[in-house]
Amino acid sequence: MANIDVLDIAFPLYNIEFPEFSIKHVSYTWASQIDEKLASKIISLMREVTSSTPIIGFGKTIVDEEAWKYVDELRENLKAGKCRLLTIIGNNGELMGLCTLKHNLNPNNSHIADLAKGMIAEKFRGQDVLSAAFYEIALMCEDNGVDLVTLDVRAETRAHHVWKHYGFVTYGVLPAYAKINGALFAGHFMMQEVDDLKARMEPILLRRVSGGRANLDELGISTDDDEYCRVTRTH
């Protein structure tokens, strides 16, 4: 990796604190690739999240084969430009959450992007972590000509109620959306206009460090992790 002067690095950074976990600031970075270090953090996050909250396509226990298959597929999709990966990282280097955004590449549907996977460790839920993620997603969508964000979720789960709270509305229901231990569960397909999502999240700007280059040392940000140097958007 090339040498980078920390004074020349600028990226979305939020004054979101979790003192009990030694986190003073949180960065939101669109990762361009997944190295082994980030892959391990993603797998650890998935295991932590699924222990308390369902993730689409996985049970409460994720075996190594399933986890690495997902990471390998994510790597290929990133390389092919089929999706983008938003990482949420504390200044202590911990991966707090992530989101994969799939942009529809068909010319007539290029105004649509799908939130394919999203997860935040339970201990970091609250404190506007998700609000900041949605704001960064809205900005990325704007940059890429996306007008509409979609997602799907199992009915009546915690995530389903969270998406409703953030303004997503159901446009269709699939009764046999998921099958777990022989039981069928319905799923909701939801959507929201990017402009509406951005407007709802604008209060988070009060906690956003922007408008120039950041001295990471003064902000208490560690540059030990490569993720901090993979920046695709500057404000």
Domain map (residue ranges) of the chain: 6-229
Amino acid identity at 159: A
pLDDT(163) > 90: yes
Inter-CA distances, 120 with 95, 107, 163, 195, Å:
9, 32, 14, 24
| Residue 186 and residue 152 in contact, taking contact as beta carbons nearer than 8 Å | no
Contact yes or no for 115/150 (Cβ under 8 A):
yes
Instruction: For residue range 10-61, list pLDDT tens digits in order.
Output: 467 898 999 999 999 999 999 989 999 999 999 999 888 876 665 555 555 6
pTM of the model: 0.81
Mean pLDDT taken over the chain: 82
pLDDT at residue 127 in the model: 78
CATH superfamily, with its number, for domain 6-229:
Gcn5-related N-acetyltransferase (GNAT) (3.40.630.30)
- Residue 217 — pLDDT band, cuts 50, 70, 90? very low
User: What HEC string does the chain produce?
Assistant: CCCCCHHHCCCCEECCCEHHHCECCEEEEEECCCCHHHHHHHHHHHHHHHCCCCCCCCCCCCCHHHHHHHHHHHHHHHHCCCEEEEEEEECCCCEEEEEEEEECCCHHHCCEEEEEEEEECHHHCCCCHHHHHHHHHHHHHHHCCCCEEEEEEECCCHHHHHHHHCCCEEEEEEEEEEEECCEEEEEEEEEEEHHHHHHHHHHHHHHEECCCCCCHHHHCCCCCCHHHHCCCCCC
In this prediction, residues 166-187 reach a mean pLDDT of: 94
* 50/27 Cα distance (integer angstroms): 23
Report which of residues 153 and 56 the model is more confident about.
153
Per-residue pLDDT, 5: 32
Percent of the chain with pLDDT over 90: 56
pLDDT at 50: 78
What's the CA gap between 73 and 100, in Å, rounded?
A: 12
pLDDT digits (tens, 9 = 90+) for 6-24: 333 346 789 899 999 999 9
